[in-house]
Structure 1
Amino acid sequence: MAEAYPIELRERVVRAYEAGEGSAAAIAQWFQVGEATVKRWLWRKRDEGHVRPTKKAGGTRSAIAREEIDAIVEELKDANAVEIAAAYNRGRRGSARVHVSTIKRALHRFGYVVKKSADGRSRFVAPTSSRSAPRS
Structure 2
Amino acid sequence: MPVGPSSAGWVPCRVVVCRDCCCGSTKVTGVDHAEQTARLAEAAPVRISDCLDVCDQANVIVVQPSSEGRAAGGRPAWFGLVNDPAATEDIATWVRAGGPGVAAPPDILDLYAFTPPRRARSGPLRDAG
Same fold by TM-score greater than 0.5: no
Q: Rg: which structure is higher?
A: 1
Query: Structure 1 length as normaliser, TM-score?
Result: 0.22
